[in-house]
Amino acid sequence: MQTFKVSLFIGLIISTVACSEVPARQRGNLALPQMALTPDAQESALRQHTFLSKEAASGGYGGTGGGCGCN
């Protein structure tokens, strides 16, 4: 039941937020360093490492995407 609620929540977010096609020339904002999913990899790793040591939960983080869409 919980997972269903969460996936519904996610699905709602995706369908209500504007989804539009972004031409390559307009990816400048997405390419900004502060727009990266993880702007500071080392800091993020240390924070997650700290949480894992003090809290029971872990996981969820990983993967790439967004950015400038360059080849």
Partner 1 sequence: MSKRKNTKLINRLTCAALALPGLMHEASAARVEETYDVDVQYGHYEESGQRIKVNTFESAFTIPIGNAMTSMFNFVHDAVSGASPIYNSRDAQGKVTQVMSGASIKEERNMIDANIAYFLDQSTLKAGGGYSTEHDYKSKYLNASWSQDFNKKHTTLNLSGSVAFDDIEPTNFNSDCGNKCTKTTEQVLAGVTQVLNKDALLQTNLTFSNSSGYLSDPYKRVIFYDANNVLTTIASDKRPRDRRQWAGLVRYVQHVEDANRAALHADYRFTTDNWGINSHTVDLSWHQPLGEGWEIVPRIRYYTQGKADFYEPTFTGTPTNTPNYSSDYRLAGFGVVSGGLKLTKTLSSSKPLQYLKLNAGIEYFDHKSRYELGGNDSGSFADFKYYLFTASVNLKF
Partner 2 sequence: MMNHKKVSMFAVALFVGAINSAVNAAKIGEQVPAFSLPTLQQNQAVNLKQFQGKVVYLDFWASWCAPCRTSFPLLNKLHEKLKAQGFEVVAVNVDENKTDAEKFFKEFPVNFTVVRENKGELSDQLAVESMPTSFILDKQGVIQHVHQGFKSGDLPELEQKITALLAK
Instruction: Please report whether residue 34 would count as binding partner 2 according to CB under 8 A.
Output: no
Q: Which is nearer to partner 2, 26 or 50 (CB)?
A: 26
List the single partner that 15 binds among partner 1, partner 2, none, CB under 5 to 8 Å by kind: partner 2
Instruction: Please report whether residue 20 would count as binding partner 2 according to CB under 8 A.
Output: yes
The site that binds partner 2 (CB under 8 A) totals a number of residues, namely: 20
Residue 28 makes CB contacts below 8 A (sequence gap 6+) with 68
Residue-wise over 35-70: b if at least 16 C-beta within 10 A, else e? eeeeeeeeeeeeeeeeeeeeeeeeeeeeeeeeeeee
List the single partner that 50 binds among partner 1, partner 2, none, CB under 5 to 8 Å by kind: partner 1
Instruction: Please report whether residue 68 would count as binding partner 2 according to CB under 8 A.
Output: yes
Pair of tokens at residue 59: 């996981």
